[in-house]
Structure 1
């Protein structure tokens, strides 16, 4: 029985299982569109790590599986497609529903959401653009953009530019590092964890301030 020839990524002894193996199979089979599909899914399901998908795509470009231009084009297109899907989730969710849910949450005030909306109206363009380069938030930022009905042409432009920068850094890192592409994931993973910790600390501080404020209000009423 003739042996099946190894693909370039298989010849490079890339992981046969897990997310890296899945991405390697996609890129081996579909080339650039496979990388774009992986990144589109990463936007919709943030647990899929771009810090694995993008450097591995860059490594594949270095192995000749696809061109570097193709890697950047398809991964950026995938980022935009995934972001647009989340944008429309925000549109369908809607501002009125957001206010109803917010009003039922403990420890928050309607004025907090109004201030958040006012902030997004003033700084939304920077948030969407820069958010594409921040782990964790690069996917989530599309939802408030949809809720606030950011004009679609502006959203597409900001998303494409921000995603192109982020994708280029990680794809090029994988391209230059070669079979050490997985080093990128280590550093970006640490950054992601730091961001999550900062968010948790910020939420804990917010809740603490709210509880103290309610306690002081109750004491003033009792007095």
Structure 2
């Protein structure tokens, strides 16, 4: 790893992430593609780090900008397809069986979710590729619901290309300050996490209230 890149990353990366950073600089585009593929399958790995760094690496002449964009998008699509087939393998029936055993979850919730996905699934897959956390997770329900694989691949490619291009170009333009992209993307991720937590609190609260009302109604009927 060059001294310039090492100086800007040594405080931020280590372990498996640091290994991918080294790989990206060593073999260029394919290394960036592999990093993003693994990041898609294991969301805790940060695309907000890898993508701007790929742009910075391109700006340093270690690979072309086009190579960075093509390989990272290819890695995103292949990772998403793997998760799609994991979802397809799990299937609707297994999901319904699991849901039936979970507290506060009704099978009717899955019916509503399936109806929603049937109506808005294409938008969810496309826009989901540009949201932290959901970038990877959206592939699983698409597989469970057996969205046509061609449709899924096209939408995933378009959404991934937009997200990847934005972050790679930011790293390319910012140069030594590429790491600022991760800070801004981290704010976006916090908003997404906050939204998910608010939804979960609301879901649990409404279910508990509904069960209490149901029990009270049963007690009065006696």
- Any unmatched runs of 5+ in structure 2? none
Residue deviations 1:148-169 (CA, integer Å, cap 9, x gap): 0111111110000000000000
Measured after TM superposition, the shift of residue 20 of structure 1 is: 5.8
The counterpart of 2:67, out of the listed 44, 66, 70, is 70
Offset from partner CA, 1:15-46 (integer Å, 9 cap, x none)? 24516633331112111000000000000000
- The answer as to whether partners of 1:51 and 1:170 remain within 8 angstroms in 2 is yes
Once the two structures are superposed, the pairs formed by residues 51-90 of structure 1 within 5 Å of their partners are 51-90=48-87
Tell me, in whole angstroms, the C-alpha distance in 2 between the residues paired with 1:60 and 1:112: 46
Match of 2:45 in 1: 48
Deviates more, 1:58-67 or 1:184-193: 184-193
Contact preservation (8 Å) 2:48, 2:167: yes
2:156 to 149, 156, 159: 159
- The 5-angstrom pairing of residues 39-188 of structure 1 reads 39-188=36-185
Helix, strand or coil: the match of 1:94? helix
Unmatched 5+ stretches in structure 1: 1-6
Query: What is the alpha-carbon distance in structure 2 between the residues aligned to residue 21 and residue 218 of structure 1?
Result: 55
Q: How many residues align?
A: 216
Question: Aligned equivalents of 1:104 and 1:60: distance in 2?
Answer: 49
Pair 1:15-2:9 in alignment = yes
- Determine whether 1:28 maps to 2:28: no
Q: Is the 8 A contact 1:14 1:21 kept in 2?
A: no
Report if aligned partners of 2:53, 2:178 keep a CA contact under 8 Å in 1.
Answer: yes
Measure, in 1, the Cα distance between the counterparts of 2:39 and 2:134.
12
Give the conservation status (yes or no) of the 8 Å contact 2:17–2:45. no
Q: CA deviation at 1:14?
A: 3.6
Cα offsets for 1:71-96 (capped at 9, x unmatched): 00000000001001100100110110
Deviation (angstroms), 1:127? 0.3
User: In the alignment, what sits opposite 2:198?
Assistant: 201
Distance in 2 (alpha carbons) for counterparts of 1:10 and 1:141? 38
Secondary structure of the residue that 2:102 maps to in structure 1?
coil
Q: CA RMSD in A?
A: 1.2
Q: Determine the C-alpha separation between the residues in 1 that align with 2:4 and 2:49.
A: 19
